[in-house]
């Protein structure tokens, strides 16, 4: 099995969607399908159960994912160390982001590189389906996550930025022409539901279960990722809440962003695995403390 085919399998095992896997790896859907079929022929069993509406790992697929992930991670790290050595660098800090505003955070990345030029820095997107798994498996070194994070094995570092919230609706929604909305409006219109894998306290911090006055906020359709969220909102009368940076980085003709003029701001900070804390992680945390958090 070639390294690229392993990467395709592991990415599909995470995304459970051929289109998103292709987009993430910048290959065609046909290339993804071809690689999986080739692997299934080699193994002699189905790795995924596929229907027109869902993709699921089989028992054999689950086992292969568990076996291949550490092998692939080791190979990737070895190749990365070789590339860094060729550039005169001695290590790399891998940052996973649940937000999409890495561009806005460039002052932190540039300060880190200036302070320790012998270290590389990589930034990648992380799925909110299993937000802390990449930290625990060692795929990333530090996560940019909304707060609070209350996991006993994870350390929460300094706050990177805070921002107001927005309501996301489609242009035909009854609130679409409003200049702003109150957080109480979510009690009337509900929100989308995150995957069951999300800790309740963490989902509540991003998309509260109750309005400021204590009214319950109905959870409706489950969405596993941001692309599906936009698709559902853009094609129906449901609403959702996001951080205000989404309005800048995810402009779409089928989506309207309405500022929420009350309610708590979202806080985003650095999080890392306590038993994998390293000098690059500590350096980035100090850079954020020295520069201070941003306010959106």
The strand order across the sheet containing 256-259 reads 240-243, 165-169, 256-259
Which of 142, 100, 55, 58 lies closest to 229, judged by CA? Answer: 100
Other beta carbons less than 10 A from residue 4's beta carbon: 12
d(CA 65, CA 31): 19
Instruction: Say if CB 229 and CB 193 are below 8 A apart.
Output: no
Q: What is the DSSP code (8-state) at residue 6?
A: H
Find tokens 């959870």 and name the residue.
219
Residue 51 buriedness (CB in 10 A; 0-12 / 13-18 / 19+): exposed
d(CA 256, CA 166): 9
pLDDT tens, per residue, the chain with 296 residues:
688 899 999 999 988 999 889 988 889 999 999 999 999 999 999 999 998 778 999 999 999 998 998 888 778 777 777 776 777 666 789 999 999 999 999 999 999 999 998 888 989 888 888 889 999 988 899 999 999 999 999 999 999 999 999 999 999 999 999 999 999 999 999 999 988 889 999 999 999 999 999 999 999 888 888 888 999 999 998 999 999 999 999 999 999 999 999 988 999 999 999 999 999 999 999 999 999 999 87
Question: Is 285 strand, coil or helix?
Answer: helix
């Amino acid at each position: 099995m070639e390294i690229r085919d392993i990467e395709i399998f592991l990415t599909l095992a995470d995304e459970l969607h051929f289109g998103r896997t292709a987009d993430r790896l910048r290959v065609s859907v046909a290339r993804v399908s071809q690689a999986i079929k080739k692997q299934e022929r080699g193994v002699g069993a189905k790795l995924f159960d596929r229907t027109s509406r869902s993709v699921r790992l089989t028992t054999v697929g689950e086992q292969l994912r568990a076996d291949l992930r550490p092998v692939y991670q080791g190979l990737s790290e070895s190749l990365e160390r070789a590339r860094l050595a060729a550039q005169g660098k001695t290590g790399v800090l891998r940052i996973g982001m649940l937000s999409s505003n890495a561009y806005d955070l460039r002052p932190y990345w540039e300060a880190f590189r200036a302070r320790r030029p012998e270290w590389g820095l990589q930034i990648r997107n992380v799925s909110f389906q299993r937000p802390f798994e990449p930290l625990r498996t060692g795929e990333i070194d530090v996560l940019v996550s909304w707060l609070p994070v209350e996991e006993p094995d994870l350390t929460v570092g300094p706050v990177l930025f805070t921002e107001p919230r927005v309501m996301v609706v489609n242009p035909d929604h009854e609130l679409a022409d409003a200049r702003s909305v109150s957080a109480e409006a979510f009690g009337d219109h509900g929100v989308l539901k995150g995957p069951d894998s999300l800790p309740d306290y963490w989902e509540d911090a991003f998309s509260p279960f109750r309005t400021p006055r204590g009214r319950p906020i109905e959870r409706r359709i489950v969405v596993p990722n941001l692309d599906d969220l936009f698709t559902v909102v853009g094609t129906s009368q449901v609403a959702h809440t996001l951080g205000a940076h989404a309005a800048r980085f995810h402009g779409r003709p089928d989506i309207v962003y309405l500022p929420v003029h009350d309610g708590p701001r979202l806080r985003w900070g650095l999080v890392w695995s306590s038993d994998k804390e390293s000098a690059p992680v500590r350096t980035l945390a100090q850079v954020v403390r020295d520069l201070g958090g941003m306010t959106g």
